[in-house]
Amino acid sequence: MSITVKIDLGYEFDVKAKAAEVFELLSDVPASVSHFPKVEKLTDLGDGVYQWEMEKVGTTQVNIQTVYASKYVSDKTKGTVKWTPVKGVGNALVGGHWKIVDNKKSTGLTLAIQGEIEVPLPGLMKMIVVPVVQGEFEKLVEKYIDNLIQRFGGEA
């Protein structure tokens, strides 16, 4: 038995760094992921596909580890970095995109993430598990954004 937890997050913020520098980092998947907290392992599966293995969360008796793969495509002209879920890898499907806009004196960023995580727990625990998993995922993404803001010289 398992519980499906849906994730749907969106963020917009501006940083002081130049758009070209921001695009360069965000389109380099390993460099970008190095700013994401609690990633145990990132594996390059080739052809723009990367497998993420997150650190286990929970207690010794009850814990979950999120594992998934996404295919990344960057388009410098459009200022986008997009990733789509790869089926059949791990226990989650995660997709999303970065939109990078050059505002001359700053760079505007939009981040959207959608996903589904399969948690191997009985359905009776759904009311407890869903908000905990969603909250944990949200905290990780917000820490990732904070790390990127610091890397890009602060918020504009």
- Assigned token pair, 11: 């963020």
Q: Which pLDDT value is given to residue 122?
A: 87
Between 60 and 147, the more confident residue is 147
For residue 152, give the 3-state DSSP assignment: coil
Please report whether residue 43 resides in a domain.
yes
Does residue 123 belong to any structural domain of this protein?
Answer: yes
Question: Residue 81's pLDDT band (boundaries 50, 70, 90)?
Answer: very high
Kindly state whether residue 21 falls inside one of the protein's structural domains: yes
Q: Domain for residue 67, yes or no?
A: yes
Range of the domain at 92: 3-151
119 domain residue, yes or no: yes
Residue 28 falls inside a structural domain: yes
Q: CATH number of the domain at 74, please.
A: 3.30.530.20
Residue 156 located in a structural domain? no
Q: How far apart are CA 54 and CA 31, in angstroms?
A: 16
Question: With 90 as the cut, is the pLDDT of residue 63 above it?
Answer: no
Q: What is the pLDDT of residues 94-134, one digit of tens each?
A: 999 999 999 999 999 999 999 999 988 888 889 988 998 89
Q: Name every residue whose Cβ is closer than 8 Å to that of residue 81 and which is 6 or more positions away in sequence.
A: 23, 26, 27, 32, 72, 73, 74, 75, 97, 98, 100
User: Count of domains in the chain?
Assistant: 1
CA 39 to chain centre: 10
Q: How confident is the model at residue 62 (pLDDT cuts 50, 70, 90)?
A: low
